[in-house]
Amino acid sequence: MNKLRFTIPIVWMLVVFLLWGCTSRKPLEKANTTPPQETKPPAAQPEIKQETDVKNTVPPDGEENSQKNNNTIDEKEEHAAALPVQEEKQKEDDPFEFLEGAISAYHDARLAWDKGDFETALAALDEAYYLLLQTRLPEDSPFVQEKDDLRLLIAQRIQEIYVSRLSTAGGNHQTIPLVENKYVLAEIKRFTTGEKKYFLESYRRSGMYRPFILKELKNAGLPEELSWLPMIESWFKTNAYSRARALGLWQFISSTGYRFGLKRDRYVDERMDFIKASKAAVRYLGELHAMFGDWTTALAGYNSGEFRVQRVIKAQRINYLDNFWDLYLMLPRETARFIPRFIATLLVLNDPEKYGVQLPDPLPPLKFESVTVNKPVKLSALAQSLGIKASDLEILNPELRHKSTPDSSYQLRVPEGKGQNTLASLAAVQRYVPPEATYVIHYVRRGETVSGIAGRYRTTVGAIARLNRLRRNYLIRPGQRIKVPARGATRVSSSQPLSLHKQGKNLIYVVKRGDSLYRIANAFNTSVQNIKIRNNLKNDRLSVGQKLVIQSGTPDNAMIYVVRSGDTPYEIAKKHRMNLSAFLSVNGITRRSKIYPGQKVWVNKR
């Protein structure tokens, strides 16, 4: 038995030795023309034991060098075979590969979504999110923000798909959830008590504009309930103006209006046009819904701006919203009330009897036709020639800022059936150009009041209030930008005309008691900034007797004209297509100044 124990290890060693010898000769046998016959490997042996036995086995004489060469070849082959595996493993572990794959899958989802293939879109979004979870980025990697943004986009697209499914199954009516919570009930109470008068008047006015709004919503495939948004935005007033400088039925601020194609110039402000502004609002609402995926959050973005809502969402620990009311308390108060007010409006209008409201009959829709007007005319003058009220034209054309057509081709809306009469009457209507807006911008300082500012600029409190649409309490705040009418200063200057005198090539004004830089600049058709630059003034303070250079050298776009016998300032200005006051100003003379033959004066170049 002891011999058997001793013999078994030796036999195993010989078997291993023979097998090792066969395998070590395989690389040399590959050079032969006859390929070696395949042999079945021996029974599975413990790998560690085999390596140990080989190390303890001494090869026969003459085979040592061959074994060394064979070992070297085997090691190279094993290393070469291991390289692709390592590279593949390294590639699989590369976080940027996962991130690129996630972005690619997201784009595939968008393409499927555009084609209406919801199932493929969801599968691609699932794959994108899976790859995103595999992305392990260092904390200081510049791609961390990109990963977070992609996660948010994926969540928004998934929510958008499910919302669209609900919309298809239940119709647009069910896309805006009419939740009757405490916030909504509080707004219903306001509509049925303190704000009831405004609510009913607004509902009555809505009849004039809603048909146009509903048409745009239907074309865009948006919920019809959105046609009631102007009720809480502007009470359906085309000229409604807010403290945030938003204007019109849909309360567009200037920048958002420009973004959606609403023009604003001296003559028109398309934010007040009920058709153009409605088209812009529908486009904006569609973009917001595509961005946020649900209407409550989209409407919050409409009221306060999408970027503010996105910042609030990003400030949370999750990158999507299951419920708008989780976001409600984190929004600004005015925006937070916007959604409950809109839902309250829909609830009251859907069931007025439940809330004790008797709705009046809405006004009939506006009916009109358009004619092309190629000259500026005042609407009141045109209305008089047509035998209608001026308000009839003003209601149809609310975008006209001065209630007059612009000095260019314009599509004017006139009551239905009045198109031919309008074209026939235009020739007899006098040409009208509204006066240039004359005001100065004033930034309110701490402690200032409207009455104090009015006294400083020699105007009235009412004029400032009307120009800035201030409420009756005339509240202003430090840093606020307000417009101050210049007409008050102009009236003062007309009774006390300012005059210039020449010193060399300069026109000089001597400061008198009560003068201000604004008054001087307005009198001589220049700006406060120009006067300060020419005279190196660091502030607006002036002293009596101080000399100010109003003009130096040759005026811009001017030439010298030699006065002839019989010339008058008016005739010279008219001949050179100049305003009389501009001619007087540029030459440092007044209406009572005398000119004489041979005198050289500045006039506009032709």
* Token representation of residue 231: 């009720």
Instruction: Tell me how far apart the alpha carbons of residues 144 and 448 are, in angstroms, rounded to a whole number.
Output: 49
The domain segmentation of the chain, as residue ranges, is: 2-89, 95-132+144-170, 178-355, 368-428, 439-492, 495-604
**Residue-level pLDDT at 365:** 94
Looking at 160, 233, 270, 399, which residue is catalytic?
Answer: 233
Domains 178-355 and 495-604 in one fold: no
pLDDT value at residue 557: 66
Beta bridge partners of residue 441, listed in sequence order: 483
Q: What is the pLDDT of residue 324?
A: 64
Crossing angle (nearest 10°) for helices 306-314 and 276-292: 10
Q: How far apart, in Å, are the Cα atoms of 571 and each of 247, 556, 580, 583, 603?
A: 44, 21, 9, 11, 12
Residues 6 or more apart whose CB falls under 8 angstroms from that of 364 comprise 207, 208
Closest CA to 553 of 520, 576, 586: 586
Give the architecture-level CATH label for domain 495-604: Roll (3.10)
Is 233 one of the catalytic residues? yes
Question: What are the two backbone dihedrals, phi and then psi, of residue 63, each rounded to the nearest 5 degrees?
Answer: -105, 0
Rounded to the nearest angstrom, the gap between the alpha carbon of residue 425 and the centroid of all alpha carbons in its chain is 43
CA 200 to CA 266: how far, in whole Å?
Answer: 34
Q: Report angle CA 341, 344, 347 to the nearest 5 degrees.
A: 155
Residues 510, 479: contact at Cβ < 8 Å?
no
Name which of 209, 231, 227 is nearest 219 in CA terms: 227
| Burial class of residue 417 (count of CB atoms within 10 Å of its CB; 0-12, 13-18, 19+) | exposed
List strands edge to edge, sheet with 501-503: 501-503, 506-510, 547-552
Q: Which fold has domain 439-492?
A: Membrane-bound Lytic Murein Transglycosylase D; Chain A (3.10.350)
List C-alpha distances in Å: 38 to 191, 265, 400.
93, 91, 96
CB proximity list for 290: less than 8 A, separation 6 or greater:
160
- What pLDDT sits at residue 57? 40
3-state secondary structure string, 61-111?
CCCHHHHHHHHHHHHHHHHHHHHHHHHHHHHHHCHHHHHHHHHHHHHHHHH
Cβ neighbours of residue 341 closer than 8 Å, sequence gap 6 or more: 187, 232
Cβ neighbours of residue 522 under 8 Å, at least 6 residues apart? 438, 440, 486, 489, 490, 493
The pLDDT value given to residue 355: 92
Question: What is the pTM for the complete model shown?
Answer: 0.52
pLDDT of 37: 46
* CB-based contacts of 449, cutoff 8 Å, min separation 6: 474, 476
- Averaged over successive runs of 10 residues, the pLDDT of the chain (606 residues) comes to 46 48 41 43 42 40 46 48 46 69 84 79 86 79 75 74 47 61 90 92 95 93 93 93 86 87 88 95 90 82 80 61 62 77 93 92 94 91 91 94 89 92 87 71 83 83 82 78 65 48 76 78 73 84 85 70 84 81 72 77 75
3-state secondary structure of 335: helix
The phi and psi torsions of 557 (rounded to 5 degrees) equal 55, 40
Centre a 10 Å sphere on the Cβ of residue 340 and count the other Cβ atoms it contains: 22
Contact 277, 264 (CB under 8 A): no
Round to whole Å and give the CA distance between 36 and 428.
Answer: 113
Q: Please provide residue 441's backbone torsions phi and psi, each rounded to the nearest 5 degrees.
A: -90, 130
H-helix or E-strand containing 506? strand 506-510
Per-residue pLDDT, 90: 45
Q: Is residue 400 exposed (0-12), middle (13-18) or buried (19+ Cβ within 10 Å)?
A: buried
Could you name the CATH architecture of 178-355?
A: Orthogonal Bundle (1.10)
- For 508, the 3-state DSSP assignment is strand
In CATH terms, the fold of domain 368-428 is: Membrane-bound Lytic Murein Transglycosylase D; Chain A (3.10.350)
Q: Which residues lie below 8 Å from residue 55, measured CB to CB, with a gap of 6+?
A: none
Tell me the C-alpha distance between 549 and 533, whole Å: 10
